Structure 1
Amino acid sequence: MKHFRSIDEAGADGIAKLLDLADHMAEVNRRPNPKVPALRGRTVCNVFFEDSTRTRLSFETAAKRLSADIMNFAVSSSSVNKGESLRDTIETIAAMGVDAFVIRHGSSGVPWQVEQWTNASVVNAGDGWHAHPTQALLDCYTIRTALNRTSSFDGLKIAIVGDVKHSRVARSDIRAFTLLGADVTLVAPRTLLPPAVDVPTTTDLDDVLADVDVLYLLRMQQERMTESLVPSLREYTTRFGLTPARAAALPEHALIMHPGPMNRGVEMAVDPSELPGAVITQQVTNGIAVRMAVLFELLGSGTDLEENE
């Protein structure tokens, strides 16, 4: 692959390859010195036009563990505040010598625009409501490792609950999970569902709890809402939040997932640290291995995974 901007850019075979590669990266991360020289001499630039903690730090850690050089672009202290265009910003950074751009932007399609202005690889770290492919990849990896799924997700039942309409994570997850063979159901108020989806939907969370293998909770993205789409957060929690009673209704093996950041008391009305099926912190840990796999696939030579620094 030259770029990784959407799940479809990888396809089912590409996802499987990246998940297998993530196994090797996870092994690297368990070493006393979790660093290999696989991307020594390569430069990765993180260009984040939106706030981020998990994704930005995860990509930065992944690049460092592969021995790449890191450039972090801070919008708040850049010439963007003087009116510099996105194109001029990318072309300026590219002229300094960059092998890969990791892009997060509030407008859908920006990673595809950036490709036109640079010869570097482009990784989508979230664009508008559109896509967040590395989050979907780490979610697949978390499910695979937690449920011992070595190949497909055939027969797996996954419920994605909450603000699907505004969620780029949900869009990428739906595509990735279904490509791997899972049965995905969306659970949300009708006002928080996109206008057209290719998977079943329901407004009754309690109706699906007993049968799910994975319960994936989404954050209410109020910063993306321009209108009131639910009567109140209290009512939302009553109908769609994970309460102690709903947690008790889940199958014993079921996983509870969340992409973060979490609105405690809204979509999660119980402390996830008290739930044996919660793998939310594992998602964060797995994000490093998965993003190492993506960067290595785009920039690596196929060697230097065994040698420690």
Structure 2
Amino acid sequence: MTQINYDQLLNALKDSPLAGWAEQLPAQIAAGLCEKRYGDLAGWKQSLAKLPTVKGSRIALTEEVRIGHSSDCDETTRAEIRSVLQELIPWRKGPYFVHDIHIDTEWRSDWKWDRVLPHLAPLKDRLILDVGCGNGYHCWRMLGAGAKRVIGIDPSPRFIVQFHMIKHFAGANYPVDVLPVGIEDVPEKLQAFDTVFSMGVFYHRRSPMDHLLELKNTLRPGGQLVLETLVIEGKLGDVLVPEGRYGMMNNVWFLPSCDTMLSWLRKMGFSNPRVVDVCPTTTEEQRATEWMRFHSLPEFLHPEDSSLTAEGHPAPIRAVFVAEA
């Protein structure tokens, strides 16, 4: 019976730069996985416990996240696995392939990774933090790129259970974990991580400068920040602050121009900030699927003009920024 367990991570952190945080983590994890606080969590954990144990004949993390092969189990077992995985719908970040079951997620997160990876300092042997990582798809890809250890953080318990479903099939020995905490739970001035990712988080933060400072404080001196966020076209100083919703989302606060974002990074003390990729989000990259059956980007755009959101704002453009602490 698979359960959510962080003992291996906590033991590994005892003699590391994260030892101080490790002492706080048991209480933080308990709060983040409190069934009284999250009414659906007990059912999701029951789904996790139902997964059959099937040893994967292969695990690929470099070009994709693929675990096992259809020949590792019979069709009855594969149908059982598929049914249990679908109990955690919606699956938003991916795709995953588990014994050739294709979890066709809302986001083609592999496309984002392909855009980001060429611009990074080599991830080999690095200690990495992925802020707002969802179900941990990019964490697996970071591990595939050679990271020594990857810690993702996301306060959504559904994503935590989805991550552990994938790890159930990959095996507990992989040095990758997703914790049910937010960036505010990371100790101030930790200054321990070699690389910190914040992808698809910045525009959800009420205070952009505070978020940049939180990220900077997690990095060791010289460590690299990788920040991906929604932006607008415009000059230095331009920023969109939607009064209501943006793309049907009610928690979007700041969409800067690229030059404005670079200025904010410099203001918060980052070195050599640069924009390395700018890409409109398409309805091929974000859409409803069998594994995410609700409205997605096609419904979030203006029905008569796809260059606008449903509210009349500029349609989503995402940019990747890289800088050093």
Q: Could you tell me the TM-score, scaled by structure 1's length?
A: 0.31
Greater fraction helix: 1
Greater fraction strand: 2
Q: Greater relative contact order (Cα 8 A, min sep 6): structure 1 or 2?
A: 1
